[in-house]
Amino acid sequence: MAKRIEAHGVTAFYSSFKAIDSINMTIEPKSVTALIGPSGCGKSTFLRSINRMHEVLPGARNEGKLLIDGQNVYDNDVDVTAVRRMIGMVFQRPNPFPTMSIYDNVISGLRLNGVRKKSTLDDAVEKALRGANLWNEVKDRLPRPGAGLSGGQQQRLCIARAIAVEPQVLLMDEPCSALDPISTLKIEDLISELKNRFTIVIVTHNMQQAARVSDRTGFFSIDQTGDPGRLIEYDDTSKIFTNPSEKKTEDYITGRFG
């Protein structure tokens, strides 16, 4: 069940450094939202603020409200583990657990959740690997280590691992930046399929990718070094790339800046 995300004044600090300032954004369920902008403008920091991964670093903290279907995940009484279970994440570099088999990688989250029944786990492995478009490539070698797969296969394994616990939101931080063009296209096709089930937010440096995969795009920027990142413009992807409202957005997407 995909969920709506609403950021109200989301601000993030690394100790005393304010990295993003007062981000307001509503992300609809079952959509893909791309976050673009120059290096250091806070895209990843905002992404990690959605599932409370930002605050894991010593001295890091958030302000504002981040609502998932109306529930503020920053509320004091919220179970942070439950938040992270509901909001899956895929990182820049594929990071399967290297010594674990393909099978065990996929079900690692389910095992943590206490699922033990073999038939349930078998079904979950097949469903998640099919969902990640990897099943046909690995179904005959499930007991082999995940680290033995190609980079693109490893990233799809990480996506399978993330979706196996049926999260409602999937965050992707430059998921294709370590992949070749063919693997990248496979992941992009996969993102388009996954949005039927999940709310997806993807950070990407690749503007063609943002244009290809996303429904909405948020352009982040900073005025100058040391300033916090801000959301400059957020709109339908087609509008951002053909007729942006802000000059800064236009300068960025036409390559005049950043």
Ligand X SMILES: Nc1ncnc2c1ncn2[C@@H]1O[C@H](COP(=O)(O)OP(=O)(O)OP(=O)(O)O)[C@@H](O)[C@H]1O
Interacting residue ranges for ligand X, rule: CB under 6 A: 14, 17, 19, 37, 39-45, 57, 229
Distance, CA of 21 to chain centre: 20
Show the beta-strand stretches assigned E in 110-221. 169-173, 199-203, 216-221
Q: Which two tokens stand for residue 187?
A: 């992941």
**Contact criterion met (CB below 8 Å) for 89 and 173:** yes
Residue 148 or 258 with smaller CB distance to ligand X:
258
Rounded to whole angstroms, the Cα distance separating 71 from 80 reads 13
**Closer CB to ligand X, 57 or 112, in the complex:** 57
Query: Considering beta carbons, is residue 39 or 224 the nearer one to ligand X?
Result: 39
Task: Report the C-alpha gap between 201 and 204 in whole angstroms.
Answer: 10
Please, which residue, 149 or 230, has the CB nearer to ligand X? 230
The CB-of-57 to ligand X minimum distance in angstroms stands at 5
Nearest distance from residue 103's CB to ligand X, in Å? 32
Q: Report residue 192 CA to chain centroid gap.
A: 14
Residue 228 CB, shortest distance to ligand X, in Å, is: 8
Of 89 and 134, CB closest to ligand X: 89
The residue (of 220 and 241) whose beta carbon lies closer to ligand X is 220
Residue 246 exposure: Cα atoms within 13 Å on the Cβ side: 14
For residue 66, the minimal CB distance to ligand X (Å) is 16
Least separation in angstroms between residue 89's CB and ligand X is 14
CA 150 to chain CA mean position, Å: 21
Identify residue 211 by its one-letter amino acid code: A
- CA–CA separation, 198 and 169 (whole Å): 5
| Rounded-to-integer distance, Cα 129 and Cα 160, Å | 5
* Smallest separation, CB 108 to ligand X (Å): 25
